[in-house]
Structure 1
Amino acid sequence: MDIRQLVFLGASVLAAPAPGPAMADDMLYVQQAEIEIDPAQLDAYRAAVTEQIETAIRVEPGVLALYAVSEQENPARVKVFEIYRDTDAYRSHLETAHFKKYKATVENMVRSLKLVRTTPIMLGTKPK
């Protein structure tokens, strides 16, 4: 799956009609991971995060969107924007085999990690 397909998949999930209040913004678990990667291992990190995101989106119903981007001026600075159905979906994600594999794989690649819990103001996507 390439980045366009991944972005489209995430946008499709967010644009899909939601039954009742289960998708209310105050129910979502949304955070941003700010990650500093060892520049010498950037390609290996990109492969690991790509595999992790593709798997999570495909197999976890509670994972609504995961977007990984790097800064143009400093590609070793990566941000992952994460949207989960709720806190339980986030906690469940942390216990999956694919997430644990990702964490073990990138352990020596990550120089720093900061998780920033966010409150959605407006999440918008264009339909297809």
Structure 2
Amino acid sequence: MNKQDERIIRIAELEIDSTQLAEYRTLLTEEIEASIAMEPGVLMLHAVAERERPERIRILEAYANRQDYEAHIRTSHFLKYKEGTAEMVKALRLVDVDPIALCAKTSHELG
């Protein structure tokens, strides 16, 4: 198994209580920023909302391997997010996916 095959790639599909959407987005942003800054094994976290239904959130997640994913869900910042948003999340579906092509420009390339 090569390093690429060890990666955990997942799409989290969430539906958020629309009356708590602003608070949810704040907690999610804090969690994502902390994960990227503090966890080398968290390779990517991209959160987006459907334009016509902003309560439908999708998160593309990438972890270096299973151990890094397991470590991530035990961090204090993830647990704060999970506990803080528990009453806001109306539905959650985790979809494991296989990468075909994952490409992004670096911040240096963006200017």
TM above 0.5, yes or no, is yes
- 2:98 is matched with 119
For the residues of structure 2 that align with 1:55 and 1:114, how far apart are their CA atoms? Answer: 23
For the residues of structure 1 that align with 2:41 and 2:22, how far apart are their CA atoms? Answer: 28
Report the residue type matching 2:38 in the other structure: V
Residues 66-110 of structure 1 show CA distances to partners (whole Å, capped at 9, x for unaligned) of 001000000000001000001111111000011000000000000
Pick from 26, 30, 34 the counterpart of residue 9 of structure 2.
30
Deviation of 1:125 after TM superposition, in Å, equals: 1.7
For the residues of structure 1 that align with 2:102 and 2:31, how far apart are their CA atoms? Answer: 23
Deviation of 1:118 after TM superposition, in Å, equals: 0.5
- 1:92 is matched with 71
- 2:40 is matched with 61
- 2:61 is matched with 82
Report the residue type matching 1:80 in the other structure: I
Alignment gaps of 5+ in structure 2: none
For the residues of structure 1 that align with 2:96 and 2:68, how far apart are their CA atoms? Answer: 15
For the residues of structure 1 that align with 2:51 and 2:9, how far apart are their CA atoms? Answer: 24
Residues 45-83 of structure 1 show CA distances to partners (whole Å, capped at 9, x for unaligned) of 000000000000000010011001000000000001000
Report the residue type matching 1:27 in the other structure: E
- 1:17 is matched with none
- 1:4 is matched with none
Residues 25-64 of structure 1 show CA distances to partners (whole Å, capped at 9, x for unaligned) of x121000000000000000000000000000000001001
Aligned CA-pair RMSD: 0.9
TM-score, normalised with respect to structure 1: 0.80
Alignment gaps of 5+ in structure 1: 1-20
For the residues of structure 2 that align with 1:123 and 1:91, how far apart are their CA atoms? Answer: 22
Moved over 2 A (4+): none
Aligned counterparts, 1:4-23, within 5 A: 21-22=2-3
Deviation of 1:126 after TM superposition, in Å, equals: 2.8
